[in-house]
Amino acid sequence: MLKRISLAVALALAAQLGAIEASAQVRALCYNCPPEWADWGSQLKAIQSTLGISVPPDNKNSGQALAALIAEKANPVADVTYLGGIVADPAKDAGVLAPYKPKGWEKIPDDLKDPNGHWFTIHSGTLGLFINKQALGNKPVPSSWADLLKPEYKGLVGYLDPTSAAVGQLGVMAVNLALGGTYDNIDRAIAYFKALSKNQPIVPKQTSYARVISGEIPILFDYDFNAYRGQYTDKAPVQFVIPSEGSVVFPYVMGLVKGGPNPENGKKVLDFVLSDTSQSMWGNAYLRPIFADKLSAEAKAKFLPESEYVRAKAIDLKKLAAAQKTIIDRYKNEVN
């Protein structure tokens, strides 16, 4: 009797181990794919239902993802990664990305992909102010970068930490360019953030969508797609503002991790994010898909008018990447 029980237990354990092993064979790990950011939650579900590949959510930001990829270079953990465009060439130069040209790669503009396939853009967003109007109380909705320096917004403004988050570094450069600075000289931005520090800004390290929706952070330097999601999907009292001085449009990229444990699954995921299905989903999540024709008229109608977007200029990725260390060092030493 005991032998039969032991055999049954052993068979059950073997079945469990087999299921675990099978599950491991149909997974891919993506660094920096947080469900709350850019509606990655819907994409991860679509990858599971369409490809049968499980992609666990990962809440790193771009800087943290690159640091982890470098630290794990001898024994990679991730299969693919999603990064702010500022980190694209540094990741390639660090030798943590493998060349792979997914289906549709040839249709991507040359300045939005690595010529050898180490990274490629999947969508872009415009940086501006993601504002919870209810959390402002009776205070007016700010319309400019300069407005945020007013005493009435003390403790109400947030931006992601420029020492690690791509959107934080982009915020520094967006302000710098809007105020007359250049990629080579960020004095204007440093002076601005020093002044803003007197208003006691909130500086989180991780994506803070939920904190704006709840009103904990009434004003956040963030992308249009997050604000539109809050406004139209979550029905929150929020709106998006492109500051009157100007702003920038920023691409987000993906790449195959060199030596990742599940390279074939990783390639399938990268094929998927450029597919018609995925590109339409990015558009429905209020991002600008790299293939513009996949942004439906219905989705586009929820964006601010094009007359507002003329103030937002395409960022120069190479110049931004060249300025990254300066942004981090000067912010850390002069502002933080």
- pLDDT per residue as tens digits for the range 78-115: 999 999 998 999 999 999 999 999 999 999 999 999 99
Outline where DSSP puts E strands in 144-241: 157-158, 219-223, 238-241
Per-residue burial over 209-219, b if 16 or more Cβ lie within 10 Å, else e, is bebbbebebbb
DSSP 142: P
More confident residue, 116 or 15: 116
Under DSSP, the state recorded for 182 is B
- Residue of 74, 215, 19 whose CA lies nearest to 133: 215
- Alpha-carbon distance of 154 to 199, in angstroms, equals 4
What CATH number does the domain located at 125-249+305-335 have? 3.40.190.10
User: Which residues fall within 8 angstroms of residue 335, CB to CB, at 6 or more apart?
Assistant: 190, 193, 194, 197
Task: Read off the amino acid at residue 130.
Answer: F
pLDDT score, position 137: 94
Mean pLDDT value of segment 211-234: 96
Paired strand residues for 163: none
- pLDDT score recorded for residue 166: 84
- Beta pairing, strands 247-257 & 312-314: parallel
Mean pLDDT of 124-153: 97
In which residue are the tokens 């000289």 written? 185
Each domain of the chain, given as residue ranges in start order, spans 28-124+250-300, 125-249+305-335
Spatial distance between the Cα atoms of 281 and 287, rounded to a whole number of angstroms: 9
Give the whole-angstrom CA distance, residue 312 versus residue 287.
Answer: 15
pLDDT (0 to 100) of residue 83: 95
DSSP state of 87: G
**Whole-prediction pTM:** 0.81
At residue 182, the pLDDT reads: 98
Q: Map residue 30 onto helix, strand or coil.
A: strand
- What integer pLDDT is reported at residue 203 of this predicted model? 96
Q: Comparing 28-124+250-300 with 125-249+305-335, is the CATH topology the same?
A: yes
Cα 279 to chain centroid, rounded: 16
103 three-state secondary structure: coil
Contact 309, 143 (CB under 8 A): no
Instruction: Characterise 88 by phi-psi region: left (phi > 0), alpha (psi -120 to 50), beta (else).
Output: alpha
Determine the CATH number of domain 28-124+250-300: 3.40.190.10
Are 165 and 61 spatial neighbours (Cβ–Cβ below 8 Å)? yes
| Helix H or strand E segment including 306 | helix 306-309
Average pLDDT on 176-202 reads: 98
Longest dimension (CA), the chain: 84
Q: Are strands 247-257 and 238-241 parallel, antiparallel or unpaired?
A: unpaired
Sorting pLDDT into bands at 50, 70 and 90, what band is 32?
very high
**E strands present in the chain:** 30-31, 80-84, 97-98, 120-132, 157-158, 219-223, 238-241, 247-257, 288-289, 312-314
